Amino acid sequence: MSNKKIPIYVFNNNESKIVLSDEEIYAIETEKKKYAHARAVVIEALKIVQKKRGWISDQAIFAISKILKISISDIEGIATFYSQIFRQPVGKHIIRYCDSVVCYINGYESIVKEITKILKIQPGETTEDGIFTLLPVCCLGNCDKSPTLMINNKTYNCVKSNQIQFLLEKY
């Protein structure tokens, strides 16, 4: 399958083309065949597009809705519900910190303070060089090892603020 992008839908005025690659369309259509209801494929479709592009644009939402024959608002509702689906461009490395009550009690605020000081960004922002995005999450499932931090798919437990510089230098 080539990476050539092909238009799948064009608005009447030809100003806005909505494109997905052959690979993305094929992957979504393949997932669609596995389920009786297209609605069951929405999350997989979003993940397929995000894997290729890093985030989900409004145009991608529209294209997915056309492929699955589901309303744009339904797709948008699902895309915005899950914190793992990005609706805006994110950095190369995603830093997630747990801001649950347990991590709060165990000091996540000092960790976030150190990250924001070093990277010069606030939660929800991406560094100017596009390397890091800092995002809060309601729980990373490691309450017994809090405070917890996750960079991409790697989880760091019992994190201390004096470890942040070392952790960031790995990326």
Same domain, 112 and 158: yes
Report the predicted TM-score, pTM, of the whole model to 2 decimal places: 0.75
Supply the range of the domain harboring residue 42.
22-81
Q: Answer whether residue 13 shows pLDDT above 80.
A: no
Residue 44 is part of a domain; what is its CATH number? 1.10.10
**Is 59 in the same domain as 119?**
no
How many domains, in total, are found in the chain?
2
Give the alpha-carbon dihedral of 12, 63, 82, 155, to 10 degrees: -130
pLDDT tens digits, one per residue of 84-136: 899 999 999 999 999 999 999 999 999 999 999 999 999 999 999 999 999 99
Residue ending a domain, among 81, 104, 131, is 81
- Both 102 and 141 in a single domain? yes
Q: Is 138 annotated as a binding residue?
A: no
**Does residue 41 lie in a domain region?**
yes
158 is in an annotated binding site: no
Q: Is the dihedral of CA 4, 126, 118, 162 positive or negative?
A: negative
